[in-house]
Chains A and B, each alone.
Chain A
Amino acid sequence: MKARGAIRTFPAAIAIIRTIANCLKQTSSASAKQVRINPLQKMEEPENNHKINRRKFLGAGVRASVLLGLGGVAALVLKQSVAGNLVWQLDPAKCVQCGRCATSCVLTPSAVKCVHVYAMCGYCDLCGGYFKPETKTLTTAAENQLCPTSALKRKFIEDPFFEYTVDEPLCIGCGKCVKGCGAFGNGSLQLQVRHNRCVNCNQCSIARNCPADAYSRVPASKPYLLRQVGDEKNLTAKTPRR
């Protein structure tokens, strides 16, 4: 009883559903018919020149307006375009050395490497970027080194100075040395996207994962954001202390 009442209250709905069903049935029969047409039944309609001309004219009009539209969009974006290319770079002053630069790049190993700004380096014997903090004897034994791949090379220069160089093919961009150098040293070791390796993804996949929002697009003519001597004030309270 109840169901029947409900149906009576929605005759409109029923009508609509029935029409949809009818229409769908008709289209499927129409499409079935498409396949089974008999070539002999081909209708020889006389070409209607008038109709064709009108269609051509309409087509040209639509084409012109699409072209105008495309031109409009182009003009809008061209207004603020740059002739040169943009590339991705990270700002070492914002970086917190989370380690994602090593893992999030589309390339393995990452296009991000540790870069040494020699001009900032103190050439320390006890390098905060080279040695693990608990190291007792300052030997180059692998277990003393912060770098998991021994990519940071230590070379004696003169007493008491040591030069540190990054062996780029070994560096995976994990930022462990960068963190050590920033916390205990001068911050001369910095992470940078190396543009001889980076394939310049349209959207850098590290940028999307960087917790410090350190990535941005920079002009390809000036593709590095290395911190230099005298820039330290920018660093205010940004380097986390251990």
Chain B
Amino acid sequence: MIGFTHFASSRLHGKKSKRIVFLCLMLFFSIQFLDALAVQRFPKPEFESGYVQPETMQPAARAEMLQIADVIVLVIMLSVISWLVVKKRSRLGVFAASVVSLAYFGFYRQGCICSIGAIQNVTLALFNSSYPAPLAVIGFFILPLIFTLFFGRTFCAGVCPFGAIQDLVAFKPQKLGTRLNAVLGLIPYIYLGLAILYAATGSDFIICRYDPFVGIFRFNASFAMFIFAGTLLVSGIFIARPYCRFLCPYGVLLNWISRFSWKHITITPSTCIQCRLCEDSCPYDAIDLPVTGTNPESRGTTIRKLILISLLVPFFTVLGGWTLSTVHETLASVNGKVRLAKTLVEPASSVNQTETIEVTAFKSSGKPVAQVYAEASRVLKQFYTGSWILGCFLGLVFGITLAYRMVTKYQKDYLPNKGTCLSCTRCVDYCPVRMGDDNLPAI
């Protein structure tokens, strides 16, 4: 109110008495309805000097045509790189294509929208009928998966800007060993599961929140994210593509789908001659070595293993579900509604606390408290169900991974693992066999 009289008195020095009367009326009006209505307190002036009011500038958003162009570029890049990998088998070509993708999707498009993040848009659209996912986003999610179903993970070879930037720094890749690879390989499942849980409940897009490379593409990142990206790139010199192998949630989907791919890259163009030259060529430990059946395990061991697996897998599934469901409230505290409800409950116990800005904002919104509680408890219920499902899923993945390590898989040649191979085409150059060398005698 003090501010108001202040204003009015300053206005009194104005020339027009008409204005003064009007202002007094305004003032009277405002006193009466101050809390109910924030009115146009001062009317629009009538200018006499021929002053023309400027337009309020509203710069347009990125043109929608460009959005379509992005999808077209994606399809072209996927086609080119699939051809380079499966038909041409050219490492140089793949490298060149990955630089182009890095420039376009990374530095020009600044990493957004990417296929990895699009998982969350699709999930949100599936669970929330009021969210309309843009067509381009759906395209970014589904197209690489379809290409993978036919040609393996060619998207990872050089279309994904994240993969491309890490591939450029993989100078001195070290072998990690199958066990470490298997353990670290569980992290993407956790990441994927949490991302889906948070997207489905409309809480947050954690893949975008903890996206390490997008800050590099924009030359603009918070300090923490910069450190994260730096760590990944530096460790990426020795552990090739750490994000792809041990974090990327989209990689999980690509891994599954690639296992059924129609034409996957092969190390040798015709027949493997067991020369072992490619054995150490894969920077991602994605080459499965031959396991011959020279020393088959006894029948008893096989049966014991099978029984153990059939006991362990359900056990881990239930254990996982139960464990996560016990912490569903902690998981749910990422959700803004749950957090608000919590802070609204708390002041009753701790009186001397200063009101958080959230509470102030909530009070001025005029929303009933009961509504917030209802919304929060609905979200909590979703988290309870969600964490059971997620826990069971993770337990199942753990159980299957363990089981998978227990059984011996016989194979006679050096083969890229269809799930983990990123189709980078490096191993191809190590194979001495040339196309058409079909009748080469086995060594």
Q: Footprint of B on A, CB under 8 Å?
A: 16, 19-20, 22-24, 26-27, 30-31, 33-35, 37, 39-45, 59, 62-63, 66-67, 70, 73-74, 76-78, 80-87, 94, 96, 98, 106-108, 115-126, 128, 133, 157-161, 163, 165, 182-187, 194-196, 198-203, 205, 208, 211-213, 217, 220-221, 223-224, 226, 229, 232-233, 235-242
Contacts and interface: CB of A to CB of B under 8 A. Distances in A.
Contacts of A26: 297, 301, 408
Interface string B113-146: 1100110111001100101111111100010011
A158 B47 contact: yes
B174 interface: no
Contacts of A123: 42, 45
Interface stretch (B6-14, B227-235, B386-394): B6-14
Given A42-B412, A124-B42, A157 B366 contact: no
The 4 residue pairs across chains A and B that have the minimum distance between CB atoms: A122-B42, A203-B205, A196-B59, A195-B61
Nearest to A239: B38
A126 B7 contact: yes
Nearest to A16: B308
Main secondary structure of the interface of B (DSSP, over half): loop
B275 A39 contact: yes
A78 B121 CA distance: 12
Contacts of A124: 7, 10-11, 42
Contact of B35 (A106, A200, A237): A237
Given A70-B145, A123-B45, A202-B121, A208 B39 contact: no
Contacts of B135: 78, 81-83
Interface stretch (B73-81, B84-92, B184-192, B285-293): B285-293
Contact of B40 (A120, A196, A237): A120
A72 B410 CA distance: 35
A237 B67 contact: no
B56 A115 contact: yes
A193 to B, nearest CB: 9
Interface string B185-224: 0000000000000000000110011000011001011100
Given A183-B3, A223-B58, 19 more contacts: A23-B305, A24-B406, A26-B297, A33-B295, A34-B291, A70-B149, A78-B138, A80-B125, A82-B134, A115-B57, A115-B58, A195-B59, A195-B61, A199-B218, A205-B209, A208-B204, A213-B365, A236-B38, A237-B35
Contacts of B64: 83-85, 220-221
Interface of B: 3-4, 6-7, 10-11, 13-15, 34-45, 47-49, 51, 53-62, 64, 67, 110, 112-114, 117-118, 120-122, 125-126, 129, 131-138, 142, 145-146, 149, 178, 204-205, 208-209, 214-215, 218, 220-222, 257, 260-262, 274-276, 289-295, 297, 301, 304-305, 308, 311, 336, 356-358, 360-362, 364-366, 405-406, 408, 412, 442-443
Contacts of A236: 36-38, 366
Main secondary structure of the interface of A (DSSP, over half): loop
Contacts of B34: 241
B205 A202 contact: yes
A105 to B, nearest CB: 10
A30 B291 contact: yes
B39 to A, nearest CB: 6
B262 A59 contact: yes
Nearest to A56: B262
A84 to B, nearest CB: 5
Contacts of A42: 274, 290, 292, 412, 442-443
Contact of A43 (B59, B67, B405, B412): B412
14 contacts: A16-B311, A23-B305, A33-B295, A37-B290, A59-B260, A73-B142, A106-B220, A106-B222, A119-B53, A163-B51, A163-B54, A202-B117, A236-B37, A237-B35
A83 to B, nearest CB: 5
A126 B6 contact: yes
Contacts, number: 282
Given A27-B408, A220-B61, A223-B61, A185 B42 contact: yes
A211 B294 contact: no
B136 to A, nearest CB: 7
The winner among A31, A74, A76, A77 for most chain B CB atoms within 10 A is A77
B56 A118 contact: yes
Contacts of B6: 126
A77 B6 CA distance: 56
Contacts of B48: 158
B357 A98 contact: yes
A111 B48 CA distance: 37
A163 B134 CA distance: 40
B132 A82 contact: yes
Contacts of B297: 26
A232 B38 contact: yes
B138 A81 contact: yes
A158 B51 contact: yes
A26 B300 CA distance: 13
Contacts of B220: 106-108
Given A27-B408, A232-B40, A237 B134 contact: no
Contacts of B10: 124-126
Contacts of B4: 184
